[in-house]
Amino acid sequence: MQSEYQHLIDLNDYPVSWWQKVVELGEQIKNDPAAYAHKCDGKVMATLFYEPSTRTQMSFQTAMIRLGGQIIGFDNPANSSVSKGETIKDTTKIVSNYADILVIRHPIAGAAKAASLTADCSVINAGDGGHLHPTQTLTDLLTLKIEKKSLSGLTVGMCGDLINGRTVHSLCKALSMFENNHFIFISTPELRMPAYIKDIIKANGSSFEEADTIEEVIGKLDVLYMTRIQQERFASTEDYLAQKNTYVLDKRKMSMARKDMIVMHPLPRVDEITVDVDDDPRAMYFTQAKYGVFARMALIMTMLSEKKSFETLKGKVYPNVKCDNPKCITNHEAYLPKSFRFSRDETLLECEFCDERKLI
């Protein structure tokens, strides 16, 4: 299925050279932001945020304003026609006629892809449930490029809620495309990285290991990427409380890390990094959030300057096959095509909206 607009749903829909161009442009913007002040004069960006956000929404809005453009949108669906039962299809169809670019965040996996099927402008995925968060990844790649001077040869520890954390899913998919990156996943058995992400890492030629504690691996790391336990994605409060406070990065653990290790975190932080770590020069999370504006300025400029069609669905529609993921958009908006592709080894069907796999 073709769309006449370019969308960013998953970074892996594009070649690595495309992301590198965006990251390089982000770095140029950081070095001379004034030179880009009128690049989007007369353009309108809509932000449709069905789920709370501080950094992603405001950094997108700041990015568009700093490029000379204007913004519209909502950050609380209760104040829009969504509260009257409007579908994603209708909301995006309407808003995409008002705006040149549409940024969507939604609590259900695959929602941004669903929006891209009907939008009459470019769609950017600003986080779809526990699935993906490609613009955080562009921010993270820009941070690594500036602060570590490389996107390859890195040992990256990822700690916390790896099953529900969309930022770490997108970042693994991206970093595994570069050479010699090694991942160390630090989590409880319940919150391990999903199997489909591990398969992608292996297929891309990168390696990973799993660990139970920060202490046992911190000395090996170039980067420690902390995440919060995603309370809103747990089935019950008891399940959440059982995981809360398992991993806390503090000064004592930082003393075991290398002098050149950096600490990243997409934020918001809950209690997984103590505030006294903030003064450590290796703490990069606030700088990372600042770089998010430059990464998003670069992305908006790229999306608005290239007029390319986009293949929204590549798989096959099976009208009678249901995705097994209850948090998949196809189980919430009935009009969506039940589109699946075959897994690499052809033993599984993968939902094109949320990547959930099922045996054929």
Residue among 131 and 253 whose Cβ is closer to ligand NCD: 131
- Max intra-chain CA distance, the chain: 56
Check residue 315 and report its DSSP letter: S
Give the span between the Cα atoms of 151 and 174, in whole angstroms.
10
Q: Cα 67–81–4 angle (5° rounding)?
A: 50
Give the span between the Cα atoms of 281 and 76, in whole angstroms.
36
From the CB of 232, what's the least distance to ligand NCD, in Å?
9
From the CB of 273, what's the least distance to ligand NCD, in Å?
12
Residues in touch with ligand NCD (CB under 6 A)? 55-56, 127, 133, 136, 166-167, 227-228, 230, 266-267
From the CB of 50, what's the least distance to ligand NCD, in Å?
12
Residue among 227 and 312 whose Cβ is closer to ligand NCD: 227
SS3 assignment, position 147 = helix
SS3 assignment, position 63 = helix
From the CB of 292, what's the least distance to ligand NCD, in Å?
8
Token pair recorded at residue 259: 């002098």
Residue among 103 and 349 whose Cβ is closer to ligand NCD: 103
From the CB of 55, what's the least distance to ligand NCD, in Å?
4
Token pair recorded at residue 96: 């995409």
Q: Cα 272–273–275 angle (5° rounding)?
A: 135
From the CB of 309, what's the least distance to ligand NCD, in Å?
29
Residue among 150 and 231 whose Cβ is closer to ligand NCD: 231
From the CB of 103, what's the least distance to ligand NCD, in Å?
12
Residue of this chain nearest to ligand NCD (CB atom) = 266
Task: Label residue 243 exposed, middle or buried (CB < 10 Å: 0-12, 13-18, 19+).
Answer: buried
Residue among 6 and 137 whose Cβ is closer to ligand NCD: 137
Residue among 70 and 231 whose Cβ is closer to ligand NCD: 231
Token pair recorded at residue 208: 């990973």
From the CB of 248, what's the least distance to ligand NCD, in Å?
16
User: Among the residues of 162-228, which ranges form H helices?
Assistant: 166-175, 195-203
Per-position DSSP letters for 241-283, written without gaps between them: HHHTTS--B-HHHHTTS-TT-EEE--S--SSSB-GGGGGSTTB
SS3 content of the chain, % helix, strand, coil (to 5): 40, 20, 40
Residue among 103 and 313 whose Cβ is closer to ligand NCD: 103
Residue among 168 and 261 whose Cβ is closer to ligand NCD: 168
